[in-house]
Amino acid sequence: MDALPPFAAVVLAGGRAARLGGQAKPQLEVGGRTMLSIVLTAVAGAEIRVVVGPPQPVPGGVVQVREQPPGGGPVPALRAGLAAVTQDVVALLAADLPFLTAELVDGLRERLTGDGVLVIDPTGRDQLLLGVWRTAALRAAVADTSGPTSMRAVLAPLAVRRYRPPVQAGRPEPWTDCDTPAELARARSRAAHPDATPAQRDPHRQRPPARG
């Protein structure tokens, strides 16, 4: 296989996390590490790693920028992150992906065709903040500051390839995110007991009624 081209990583780490009590979601821990540190480790091979959001602890060498206006949403955040990118390829990621791996990022890079490639879940739903893109295509998509304000609308016109990564039985799905206290609790349980069944991780889980 030919060497993959260099890439940058833009991690969107803003938002108020209202459903998590307004806590700084990227700094919440899963498996003893903050979710932001897990995502940044998965893109350790990037030539530049850019975190967009309020000031927060990051490893040395990581660039931090702020969207304008602060708290303005993912599209202004993407625009701010891309301003720091000079590479032709960029991984666009959420900061709350506690099971993201470098292998998945590399798999997306290998499959990059057209304007970009992103992960879909088993229901076919696009994971808009789990993909790899041509930087020029993303930059053009967000150039109009009066244009669409949702990420889905911004990405809709682009030529996108969908990828459903294989998941080992019983292992957490790499697209798992943590928007609610329940989702965060499940992620922490899965990280602590990766080989357990759902019932073993949550003995109070409602079981389906017996058949017959």
Spatial separation of the C-alpha atoms in residues 104 and 119, rounded to whole Å: 9
What is the spatial order of strands in the sheet that 160-163 belongs to?
Answer: 63-65, 48-52, 8-12, 89-94, 126-134, 116-120, 160-163
Under DSSP, the state recorded for 182 is H
- Strands 89-94, 29-30: parallel, antiparallel or unpaired by DSSP? unpaired
Contact 106, 6 (CB under 8 A): no
Q: What is the pLDDT along the chain (212 residues), one digit of tens a residue?
A: 468 999 999 999 986 554 455 567 888 888 888 999 999 999 999 999 999 999 999 999 999 999 988 888 999 999 999 999 999 999 999 999 999 999 999 999 999 999 999 999 888 999 999 999 999 999 999 998 787 789 999 999 999 999 999 877 667 888 887 778 788 888 888 888 665 444 444 433 444 433 33
Residue from 75, 33, 81 nearest 57 by CA: 33
Q: Kindly list the distances between the CA atom of residue 37 and the CA atoms of 60, 96, 138, 173, in Å, as whole numbers in the listed order.
A: 12, 10, 24, 18
Spatial separation of the C-alpha atoms in residues 188 and 89, rounded to whole Å: 32
Fold entry, domain 8-201: Spore Coat Polysaccharide Biosynthesis Protein SpsA; Chain A (3.90.550)
What are the DSSP E strand ranges found in 73-172?
89-94, 116-120, 126-134, 160-163
Q: pTM of the predicted model, to two decimals?
A: 0.84
Helix (H, G, I), strand (E, B) or coil at 49: strand
